Chains A and B, each alone.
Chain A
Amino acid sequence: MTDLEALFRTAGVTGFLHAVDVDTGAEIAHRADDPVVTASVFKVALLVEFFRQIDRGRLDATERVTVMADRHTAGPTGVSVMADDVTISLRDLAYLMMAVSDNTAADTLIGRVGLPEINAMLASFGLAGTWVEHDCRDMFSSIVEDVGQEEMPTDPALIARLRVLDPARTNRSTPREMTRLLGMIWRDEAASPASCAAMRRLLGLQVWPHRLAAGFPYDDVAVSGKTGTLPTVRNEVGVVEYPDGGRYAVAVFTRSYGTAQNQPRADAVIGTAARAAVERLRD
Chain B
Amino acid sequence: MDLVRHLRYFTVVAEELHFGNAAIRLGMAQPPLSQRIRRLEEELGVRLFDRSSRQVRLTEPGRLLLDEAREIIARVDRLRDLAGRGESEVLRVGVPPDLGSSVIAALIAGFRERSPEVRPAPAEMWSADQVLALLDGTLDVGVVRHPVTAPGLSFGPVLVQRPGVVLAEDDPLAGLSSVHLADLAGRRLVLFPREPGLHEETLAECRRQGFVPEEVHEAQTLGLVLAGTAVAFGPQVALPGLRWRPLLGSPLAWRISTAWRGQAGEAAVAFGAVAVRVLKENAGMTDDGAAPERRVRTRPASGFLA
Interface string of B88-132 (1 = CB under 8 A from A): 000000000000000000000000000000000000000000000
Contact indicator A262/B210 (Cβ below 8 Å): yes
Residues B286-306 near A (CB distance < 8 A): 296, 298-306
Contact indicator B302/A259 (Cβ below 8 Å): no
Interface string of A246-273 (1 = CB under 8 A from B): 0000000000111111110100000000
User: Nearest residue in B to A74 (C-beta to C-beta)?
Assistant: B304
Q: When the two chains form the complex, which single residue of A136, A210, A263 contacts B210, counting CB atoms closer than 8 Å?
A: A263
Known: A151-B296, A154-B296. A103 touches B302 (CB 8 A): no
Contact indicator A101/B305 (Cβ below 8 Å): yes
CB distance from B129 to the nearest CB of A (A): 28
* A139 interface contact, C-beta 8 A: yes
* A35 interface contact, C-beta 8 A: no
* B182 interface contact, C-beta 8 A: yes
Contact indicator A230/B208 (Cβ below 8 Å): no
Contact indicator A230/B304 (Cβ below 8 Å): yes
- List chain B residues, Cβ under 8 A from A101: 305-306
Known: A258-B210, A260-B182. A210 touches B303 (CB 8 A): no
* B51 interface contact, C-beta 8 A: no
Contact indicator B306/A151 (Cβ below 8 Å): no
- List chain B residues, Cβ under 8 A from A215: none
Contact indicator B182/A76 (Cβ below 8 Å): no
Q: A259 vs B203: C-alpha distance in the bound complex, in angstroms?
A: 12
CB distance from A148 to the nearest CB of B (A): 16
Contact indicator B185/A265 (Cβ below 8 Å): yes
- List chain B residues, Cβ under 8 A from A262: 182, 210, 299, 302
* A10 interface contact, C-beta 8 A: yes
- List chain A residues, Cβ under 8 A from B296: 151-152, 154, 261
Q: Which 5 A-B pairs have the closest CB atoms?
A: A76-B303, A260-B210, A229-B306, A76-B300, A258-B210
Q: A77 vs B303: C-alpha distance in the bound complex, in angstroms?
A: 9
Contact indicator A261/B185 (Cβ below 8 Å): no
- List chain B residues, Cβ under 8 A from A189: none
Residues B190-217 near A (CB distance < 8 A): 204, 206-212
* B186 interface contact, C-beta 8 A: yes
Known: A257-B212, A258-B212, A265-B185. A103 touches B298 (CB 8 A): no
- List chain A residues, Cβ under 8 A from B306: 40, 75-77, 101, 208, 227, 229
- List chain B residues, Cβ under 8 A from A151: 296, 298
Interface string of A205-240 (1 = CB under 8 A from B): 000101000000000000000011110000000000
User: Nearest residue in B to A228 (C-beta to C-beta)?
Assistant: B305
Q: A186 vs B134: C-alpha distance in the bound complex, in angstroms?
A: 71
Q: When the two chains form the complex, which single residue of A39, A76, A156 contacts B208, counting CB atoms closer than 8 Å?
A: A156
- List chain B residues, Cβ under 8 A from A210: 301
Q: A143 vs B209: C-alpha distance in the bound complex, in angstroms?
A: 20
